[in-house]
Amino acid sequence: MEVEFSDENLDRLEIGEFGDCGYSPGIVKAFRKRMQLIRTAPDERDFYTAKSLHYEKLQGDRSHQHSMRLNKQERLIVEYKGEGTSKIVIIVGIEDYH
């Protein structure tokens, strides 16, 4: 899948530029692992099949977003732009939205 970032620090975090951007080493490692998964997935249905991701559509004013688990507390928040095979994943942030 094609990926865009809403925050350039997350783009830097993926490629290891300018350190860890204030995140713990565990979060950085999990984020990079998720980014590899996102980039190789044909579409978001693959995320639902990986139960360990806890991939889910958010509700309320965030109903246009989805989240996947990085660790027990932090989640990677994503949005989608486009339709069908030309869908683009927008990486919104890393947060504890609970």
Give pLDDT tens digits along the chain (98 positions): 899 999 888 888 888 766 667 788 899 999 999 999 999 998 888 999 989 899 999 999 999 999 999 999 999 999 999 877 778 999 999 998 66
Residues 6+ apart with CB under 8 A from 52: 69
Q: Do residues 44 and 66 lie in contact, with contact meaning Cβ atoms separated by under 8 Å? A: yes
Query: What is the predicted pLDDT for the residue at 1?
Result: 85
Quote the pTM value.
0.89
- State how far Cα 92 lies from the chain centre: 7
Which structural domains are found in the chain, ordered by start? 2-95 (3.30.2310.20)
If you ran DSSP here, which 8-state letter would residue 39 be given? H
Q: 3-state DSSP call for residue 10?
A: helix
What pLDDT is attached to residue 96? 85
